[in-house]
Amino acid sequence: MKTKALKKMTSTAAAVLLTLAFAGQSFAAAAMFQDLSGTPAKDKIAQLQQRGIIHGVSDTQFMPDAAVTAAQAIQMFVNAFNLNIDLLRFVKAPQATDYFANANNDAWYANALIIAANNDIGLSPDLDPAKNWTREEFTHQLMLTIEKHSNLPLIKIIPVDIADSADFTNGYDGSIQRALVLHIASLDSDGKFHPAAGITRAEAAEMIYNALEYIAAHPAPAGGLQE
């Protein structure tokens, strides 16, 4: 009797575990973004979601064509490159407005701004967290972030011909050139970058993914300039 009871309990437990396993799979599938059909970078976005680097406006909606605010971009950088302030000690608890006058200390992005400021990624003190970033703004800040916090190899670059380079904001052209050479960013079929166009969530996510792939594939050598 005990043996039969034990077998029954074991069988029941196995059934419960199997049910939970399938439930977990169903939940995971339901939690994937459902609005990426037709988005060229959908596989890259899905991988970033699985790694917890990007988040949607809901569990199933990413809104790939929506604009990216400065706050959203900075949160992406913090998540993607593991920026933190774990080793810093403060006399008083830092607030976002200690670094950015236009910030809101109670906003969802406040901690990301504090982390970014203390990691010196080149953000302006007059940053507007709610401002939609352009393609050139996002690219410039992305390159500053990875070059500051990733041990990238030094390389000589051959400038890429960009059909609308005359439209670049002064000081951004170098970052954009490096992003293109490293295949972090790309031009359209007409050889244009569209620097003043607003960057979309899908475009930003794809560039983050490409940057992480480049960093993983190109560890810096012990020393010297690569030819």
Q: Do 122 and 176 belong to one domain?
A: yes
Residues 11 and 38 in one domain: no
- Is 95:114 a contact under the CB 8 Å cutoff? yes
The two three-digit tokens of residue 60, written as one number: 């199933």
Of residues 153, 146, 174, the one with CA closest to residue 217: 153
Q: Is 225 contained in some domain?
A: no
Task: State how far the alpha carbon of 112 is from the alpha carbons of 79, 116, 130, 200, 223, in Å.
Answer: 9, 6, 14, 20, 33
- Residue 209 main-chain phi, psi, to 5 deg: -60, -50
Low-confidence spans in the chain with pLDDT less than 70 = 1-31, 220-227
Asked if the structure places residue 148 within a domain, the reply is: yes
- Which structural domain, as residue segments, surrounds residue 7? 1-31
- Which pLDDT value is given to residue 150? 84
Tokens matching residue 23: 């439930």
For 157, phi and psi rounded to 5 degrees? -110, 145
Residue 22: per-residue pLDDT = 32
Helix (H, G, I), strand (E, B) or coil at 200: strand
Q: Could you tell me if 40 and 76 lie in one domain?
A: yes
Query: Letter for the amino acid at 201?
Result: R
2 with 100, same domain: the answer is: no
Same domain, 64 and 23: no
* 41 shares a domain with 25: no
Q: What is the pLDDT of residue 220?
A: 65
* Helix 201-217 × helix 135-149 angle, to 10°: 30
In a domain, 222, yes or no: no
Residues 121, 155: one domain? yes
- Residue 182's pLDDT is 95
One domain for residues 79 and 52 = yes
Total domain count for the chain? 2
- Same domain, residue pair 93 and 149: yes
Distance, CA of 30 to CA of 188 (rounded, Å): 33
Would 45 be classed as within a structural domain? yes
